[in-house]
Amino acid sequence: MTLTWERSCDREPDVRDMVRRMARGGLADASLNDHITGCPSCQETIAVSKWMQQLASAPVVGRPLPDPTYLWWKAELLRRWDAGQRASAPVEVGEQVHAGVGLVAAAALLVWLWRNLLPELSASPATLPLAIVMTLSGLVLVAMAALMVRNLIRREE
């Protein structure tokens, strides 16, 4: 829906010009003043014009606006940072997938070794260091999986 503003009085441009002249110290037009007293649209135009002049002359309170060059530089920096984030998102997902596949493969290898070597480990005390290494490897895999899950949760937040 498009809003359009239609003038209800043909003399409104003259009324706005008169308000501008009066703001600079000029005099009011007597014939136009007679028209304004009977025209609600022109009265509203005068009220709005005076309010806008008061607003324009009001002092700015607070901090002054920052340098436009700084604002442009910051916007450009944020635009480039956002483009970099969008470009690196697939790479980051790929890294997570590769790490997950590696962990699954290492866990499968550890399970396979454990099943194939379990009869030999229980038969001979000389294979005790191998059992310790496999147990530690299992602990390292669990710790790495926990770190991956934590990183995925943080990334989602």
Contact of 121 with 127, CB cutoff 8 Å: yes
19 contacts 33 by C-beta, under 8 angstroms: no
pLDDT score of 73:
95
Structure confidence at residue 122 (pLDDT) = 66
On average, the pLDDT of the chain sits at 82
Cα-based distances in Å from 47 to 6, 12, 87, 117: 18, 12, 54, 94
CA distance 6 to 120: 96
Residues of the chain with pLDDT under 70: 1-7, 118-123, 157
**In 3D, which of 45, 10, 40, 16 has the Cα closest to residue 29?**
16
pLDDT at 24: 80
φ, ψ (nearest 5 deg) of residue 58: -70, 140
The helix (run of H) or strand (run of E) holding residue 88 is helix 68-123
d(Cα 123, Cα 113) in Å, to the nearest integer? 16
Q: What is the pLDDT of residues 9-55, one digit of tens each?
A: 888 888 888 888 888 877 777 888 888 888 888 888 888 888 888 88
pLDDT computed for residue 53 by the predictor: 84
Sheet strands (E) in 11-148: none
Q: Would you state the structure tokens that stand for residue 85, as one six-digit string? A: 């984030």
Do 106 and 136 form a contact (C-beta atoms < 8 A)? Answer: no
